[in-house]
Amino acid sequence: MLKTRIITALVLLAVLLPVLYLNYFPAFAVIATAFFGAAVWESFRIFKSRQALLIAAVWTAAFAYTFFFSNGMAQLNFWYALCVAIWLIRFTPSLATGLPPPEGLGNTLLSLVYAVTIVGCFVAIVALFMHSPLFLLSVMALVWVADIGAYFSGKAFGKRKLAPSISPGKSWEGAIGGGIAVLVIAAITIFAAPSVPWLQDTFAVQLQLRRGWPIALLVLLVLVAASIIGDLFESQLKRRAGIKDSSKLLPGHGGVLDRIDALIPVLPFAALVSGWL
């Protein structure tokens, strides 16, 4: 399993890093569309849609046309605000109140709303990439740091379960450790930026530079909270569906949604904040 995970990760890096490094938008658009299609297909599978592949194909074609061939990028703030509102009003409360039955209108509507948030996530990916590949990676890196920090903190200190009925392995201590890890890494980046020029175009540095420490720390903590909620919500969906992974598209890693679940609420929020900088 470990060997498979490593091989898959190396293949993904071999595909993604050149696209980001070369900053070649057409190649990026192709990759983004492919990953979007995979994520939407997996999401409709989790919701037990009988025509998941066909539905995903339609959504993918609409996404590519709207944001790469039309003027959809002119409505960025609408997508960001919509996604933030959905996570605040609909998905976060469901972690406590539960999900509708896997059959019926409620489930169908929920599947469509979740797909909308995936659209918003990938719109944010496109917009942040257009700002700069480094800026996009810097936001993603904060989510990865939060996840790694939560894992090791949970292993070392975890006692109080965060959401035992959804994800028994997560703890409050892990969540706090993830938040501390993000703040520490962000602070190191901010203090190092004056002497390391390329760090100056990263999310944490720009946030602190333009809005000051209190706002920067608050936004970073909200970002960590959003990443945990995104992870828990997908776990809740998979638990209801009775599956472990969203798919087997990424051997050793599960599916695309399993890799981006924490990013789905984070990236629209980060992109909305970036427009305020």
Q: Which residues contact 255 (CB under 8 A, 6 or more apart)?
A: 38, 42, 245, 246, 247, 248, 249
Give the model's pLDDT for residue 1: 58
- Give the model confidence (pLDDT) of 13-56 as tens digits: 888 888 888 888 999 999 999 999 999 999 999 999 989 999 99
Give the model's pLDDT for residue 193: 96
How remote is the C-alpha of 85 from its chain's centroid?
Answer: 16
What does the pLDDT average to over 120-148? Answer: 96
Least confident among 112-116, 160-164, 252-256: 252-256
- Where do the DSSP E strands lie in the chain? 161-163, 167-171
- Name the pLDDT band for 79 (thresholds 50, 70, 90): very high
pLDDT exceeds cutoff 60 at 80: yes
Give the model's pLDDT for residue 83: 97
Phi-psi region of 276 (alpha: psi -120 to 50; beta: other; left: phi over 0): alpha
Its pTM stands at 0.95
Cβ(252)–Cβ(243) under 8 Å? no
Give the model's pLDDT for residue 5: 73
Percent of the chain with pLDDT over 90: 84
> What angle in degrees, to the nearest 10, is found between the helix axes of 25-46 and 2-22?
140
Give the model's pLDDT for residue 2: 53
Q: Which is more confident, 74 or 223?
A: 223
Give the model's pLDDT for residue 78: 94
Mean pLDDT of the chain: 94
- Give the model confidence (pLDDT) of 199-218 as tens digits: 999 999 999 999 999 999 99
- Give the model confidence (pLDDT) of 156-215 as tens digits: 998 999 999 999 999 999 999 999 999 999 999 999 999 999 999 999 999 999 999 999
Percent of the chain with pLDDT over 70: 99
